[in-house]
């Protein structure tokens, strides 16, 4: 059974719904559905695209296509903004990959699935564009977003790379072992159609005696890679085993005895062997892209691994130490693109926590991203961070979406990028697209507290409060001590007017975060709603006191004064937030769509201000 069976079934449903209304498209689609030849599948996918592009050329560009290449027309449709940006990405993806079917030396059967996925997306949009209703069985909102339903095809190949065991005489080499395993995860995650579990979830089993089959069940994968590393001076021994989860049998195992200078070669050999044994072809361009991610300076690479280890702590002390390590790595290798990106993410976290003003943080992040992309313009993390800047600071939603789409084209297995894209879609009111992105992130990193909290937030912003509460309560069973989950659960209760339950969650968020300003204002709002204004005002006074020595979001003071009924003062704080491009203001934009506390009459001075600032488009 080919790995693209699910997509063919989807195309069959679309074909059945056409009913003779699109004869040319139906003819090519029927040929595609009937073939079992891999090259022919690419050929007819391309013909389907040609039919649609030819029609768009006449309808939107007002001329006949003649012999003009597909790429030229797609570029013109993009330039004139005739087609949504995500469709342009799908069209380019289908056009580029489908050409390989005509060149046997370059042909790779694994390219068929992404081509068909893009074709499904394009045809569905095209039918909507032609005002054609696809008749499908209605699905309830709860069924549509049922967290227990698997969104990925069960025949999708999948793997989790477990943390490598440290067998070195020096017992402080965990960062080194974790770093090597993560590099293998990064390499494999760039393979289209291959589900690769993220580090956070895979590493949840570190130093725990859990049966292989149980790990596979929890992470929903069919294979596991485990191993050990012994680093002794300049000598390196790496032992790895690829295991079939169903019965615990070894698919492949190998031992590498090398010099430390051969570390990068060993990492690549392991990744290639895994891909080969699971019948994937790691294309040469992918191998070159992965190699470019690293520093050829081994000492700089070791410093980078130490930095990522500290970064994972997500504490002020850990981030400070991580910043020092990344800085040292860049001194040894100024061309280390990933180190620039990591420094940018550290500054971004500081801006989100309110410790760095946005006007200082984001221009600096932007500089780091520019440096990284100048060195390596195929770095998914850099494009994702660029999307974050455009989302939270420049408020350029179209550009942010292009950034995230590009990042996912490079690395389709990044849960962080899927989550970040989901946040953008939620902020811009595209909830039916935001939720699947959040769910995909959960599939790739099912044990991550942050990913699960963000998924709950996606439901909350869509107005599906009961589903949000269900998701967030489930997330708390995995980690009851993550403040962001409690914060979002409180927001879901608040939206349902369950104010006392909201206050309980906000209290937990306040305690667990040591009084982060977002938790302070949320708890204060909750106290106001249950009539405990004295408690609320104490919290608000504490923020005013803190503002003497640290940056507090101007949006927070806007909310405080609006709640107090001091409209003129509130308006001045909102003006300041707009001038500063306050990070928290982006969240306020999302709340404007549905939250009764933040609704403004159309034409009010608040709405006029937000539109003039460019936040509302």
pLDDT band of 513, cuts 50, 70, 90: confident
Could you tell me what percentage of the chain is helix, strand and coil, using 3-state DSSP and rounding each to the nearest 5? 65, 5, 30
The predicted pLDDT at position 535 comes to: 95
362-379 per-position pLDDT tens digit: 999 999 999 999 999 989
Output the pLDDT for position 256: 86
pLDDT, tens digit (0-9, with 9 covering 90-100), for 254-306:
888 888 888 878 887 888 888 788 776 655 555 555 555 566 788 888 888 88
Average pLDDT over residues 541-563: 91
What local confidence, expressed as pLDDT, does residue 168 receive? 81
C-beta atoms surrounding 228 within 10 Å: 16
How far is it, in rounded angstroms, from Cα 371 to Cα 172? 32
CATH domain 5-129 topology:
1.20.120
User: Does the pTM of the predicted model rise above 0.85?
Assistant: no
Tell me how far apart the alpha carbons of residues 271 and 188 are, in angstroms, rounded to a whole number: 7
What is the gyration radius of the CA atoms in the chain, in angstroms? 26
Residue 530 CA: distances (Å) to CA of 42, 150, 445, 520, 524: 61, 40, 37, 16, 10
pLDDT band at 501 (very low <50, low <70, confident <90, very high): very high
Using pLDDT thresholds of 50, 70 and 90, give the confidence band for residue 6. Answer: low
pLDDT band of 34, cuts 50, 70, 90 = confident
Parallel, antiparallel, or unpaired for β 157-161 and 223-232?
A: parallel
Confidence of residue 3 (pLDDT cuts 50, 70, 90): very low
> Cα dist. 10→34, 39, 256 in Å?
14, 20, 45
Report the percentage of the chain scoring pLDDT > 70: 88
Per-residue pLDDT band at 150 (split at 50, 70, 90): very low
Task: Return all residues near 341 (Cβ < 8 A) that are at least 6 apart.
Answer: 368, 369, 372, 379, 381, 382, 385
The span from the CA of 5 to the CA of 544, in Å, is 60
Question: Among residues 95, 62, 64, 60, which one has the least CA distance to residue 78?
Answer: 60
- Do the first three CATH levels of 5-129 and 157-293 match, i.e. the same topology? no
Compute the distance between CA of residue 255 and CA of residue 278 in angstroms, rounded to an integer.
19
CATH fold of the domain at 157-293: Rossmann fold (3.40.50)
Q: Chain-wide mean pLDDT for the chain?
A: 84
Which helix (H) or strand (E) segment is 602 a member of?
none
429 exposed, middle or buried (CB, 10 Å; 0-12, 13-18, 19+)? Answer: middle
Count Cα neighbours of 46 within 13 Å in the Cβ-side half-sphere.
19
Kindly give the interhelix angle for 499-512 and 483-495, rounded to the nearest 10 degrees.
160
Most confident of 128-142, 315-329, 392-406: 392-406
494-505 mean pLDDT: 92
Predicted pLDDT of residue 314? 67
Extract the tokens encoding 523: 């708890």
Is pLDDT at 596 greater than 60 in this prediction?
A: no
The token pair at 473 is 């309560």
Which candidate, 507, 593, 526, 517, places its Cα nearest to that of 555?
517
Dihedral, 356, 344, 446, 444 alpha carbons, nearest 10: 150
pLDDT at 615 over 80: yes
Report in angstroms the alpha-carbon separations of 171 from 175, 229, 262, 313, 431. Answer: 10, 11, 22, 19, 48
Per the model's pLDDT, the better-predicted residue between 107 and 579 turns out to be: 579
87-126 pLDDT, tens digit per residue, is 787 788 788 777 644 444 445 555 676 788 778 888 988 8
The per-residue pLDDT for 142 is: 46
> For the chain, which residues make up each domain, given as ranges?
5-129, 157-293
């Amino acid at each position: 059974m080919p790995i693209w069976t699910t997509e063919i079934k989807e195309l069959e449903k679309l074909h059945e719904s056409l009913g003779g209304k699109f004869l040319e498209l139906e003819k090519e689609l029927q040929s595609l559905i009937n073939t079992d030849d891999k090259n022919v599948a690419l050929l007819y996918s391309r013909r389907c695209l040609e039919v649609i592009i030819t029609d768009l050329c006449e309808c939107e560009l007002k001329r006949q296509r003649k012999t003009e290449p597909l790429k030229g027309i797609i570029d013109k449709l993009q330039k004139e903004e005739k087609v949504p940006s995500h469709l342009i990405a799908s069209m380019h993806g289908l056009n580029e990959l489908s050409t390989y079917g005509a060149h046997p030396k370059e042909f790779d059967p694994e390219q068929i699935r992404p081509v068909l996925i893009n074709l499904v997306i394009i045809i569905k949009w095209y039918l909507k564009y032609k005002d054609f209703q696809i008749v499908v069985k209605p699905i309830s909102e709860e069924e549509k977003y049922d967290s227990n339903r698997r969104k990925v095809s069960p025949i999708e190949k999948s793997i989790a790379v477990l943390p490598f065991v440290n067998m070195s005489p020096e017992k402080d080499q965990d960062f080194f072992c974790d770093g090597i395993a993560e590099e293998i995860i990064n390499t494999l995650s760039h393979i289209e159609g291959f589900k690769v579990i993220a580090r956070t979830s895979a590493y949840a089993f570190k130093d725990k005696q859990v049966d292989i089959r149980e790990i596979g069940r929890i992470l929903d994968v069919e294979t596991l890679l485990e191993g050990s590393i012994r680093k002794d001076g300049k000598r390196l021994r790496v032992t790895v085993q690829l295991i079939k989860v169903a019965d615990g049998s070894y698919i492949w195992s190998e031992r590498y005895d090398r010099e430390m200078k051969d570390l990068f070669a060993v990492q690549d050999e392991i990744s290639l062997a895994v891909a080969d044994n699971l019948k994937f072809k790691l294309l040469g361009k992918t191998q070159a892209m992965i190699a470019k991610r690293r520093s050829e300076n081994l000492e700089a690479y070791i410093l980078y691994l130490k930095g990522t280890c500290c970064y994972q702590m997500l504490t002020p002390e850990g981030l400070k130490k991580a910043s020092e390590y990344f800085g040292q790595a860049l001194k040894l290798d100024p061309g280390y693109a990933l180190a620039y990106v990591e420094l940018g993410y550290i500054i971004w976290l500081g801006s989100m926590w309110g410790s760095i003003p946005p006007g200082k943080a984001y221009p600096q992040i932007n500089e780091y991203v520019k440096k990284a992309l100048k060195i390596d313009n195929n770095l998914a993390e850099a494009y994702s961070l660029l999307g974050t800047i455009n989302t939270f600071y420049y408020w350029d939603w179209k550009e942010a979406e292009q950034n995230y789409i590009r990042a996912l084209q490079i690395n389709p297995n990044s849960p962080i990028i899927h989550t970040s894209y989901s946040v953008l879609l939620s902020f811009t009111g595209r909830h039916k697209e935001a939720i699947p992105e959040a769910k995909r992130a959960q599939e790739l990193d099912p044990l991550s507290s942050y990913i699960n909290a963000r998924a709950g937030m996606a439901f909350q912003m869509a107005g599906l409060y009961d589903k949000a509460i269900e998701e967030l309560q489930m997330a708390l069973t995995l980690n009851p001590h993550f403040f962001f989950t409690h914060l979002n659960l409180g927001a879901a209760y608040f939206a349902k007017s369950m104010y006392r339950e909201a206050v309980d969650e906000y209290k937990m968020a306040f305690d667990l975060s040591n009084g982060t300003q977002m938790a302070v204002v949320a708890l204060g709002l909750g106290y106001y709603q249950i009539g405990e204004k004295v408690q609320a005002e104490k919290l608000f006074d504490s923020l005013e006191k803190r503002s003497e020595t640290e940056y507090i979001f101007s949006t927070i003071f806007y909310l405080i004064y609006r709640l107090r009924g001091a409209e003129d003062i509130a308006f001045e704080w909102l003006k300041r937030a707009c001038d500063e491009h306050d990070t928290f203001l982006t969240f306020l934009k999302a709340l404007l769509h549905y939250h009764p506390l933040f609704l403004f009459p159309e034409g009010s001075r608040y709405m006029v201000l937000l539109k003039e600032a460019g936040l509302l488009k």
